[in-house]
Amino acid sequence: MKLGLTWEDVDLDAGELTIGRQLQRVRGQLLHRDTKTQASDATLPLPDICLTALKLRQQQRDEAEATAGKAWHETGLVFTTRYGTPIEPRNFQRSWQTRCEKAKVKPITVHDARRTCATLLADLDVHPRVAMQVLRHARFSVTMEIYTQVSSKATREALKRLGDSLGR
């Protein structure tokens, strides 16, 4: 999740988002900074499930602003506290872990979720260059050697296809 994502970066009508900035802690302060690489900045189409979630988030944000009243701090961020301020990354990580536990799923880090995305894309036979674009990696090797794992199912299917081709 990009805690630095702004509503300015999201086009719900076109179903796209552009990630150009990130939220980072630098010397004790949360700063909105440019992403690390130019590859991180391209526009991505959003799957329907993401569009639905962002539309819901927009409603939640509007409700939070109305509830907070004068205490609301307009930052333009998509993901904020109930007062509109940036979410502290450490607090987000704790909240993520709590939600994993409530859902009775193995707690994973947000980084692990990115690895899962890479692996699912590989299992769906998405071209590695496309996966690289989705994950915003500047180097192909990062996507394929660090993020993507081959599932047991994919391995079994590949070996079955190999066996079938050799048995002809």
**Which of 54, 88, 122 marks a domain boundary?**
88
Q: 134 lies in which domain range?
A: 108-168
When comparing pLDDT for 90 and 72, which is higher?
Answer: 72
- Tell me the H-state helices in the chain: 48-68, 89-102, 110-123, 128-135, 140-141, 152-166
Round to whole Å and give the CA distance between 88 and 163. Answer: 52
Mean pLDDT of 18-41: 70
On the question of pLDDT at 141 being above 70, the answer is no
Split into its structural domains, the chain has a count of 2
Residue 96 lies in a domain: no
On the question of pLDDT at 124 being above 70, the answer is yes
Residue 65 lies in a domain: yes
pTM, entire model: 0.70
Mean pLDDT of 116-125: 82
Contact 38, 139 (CB under 8 A): no
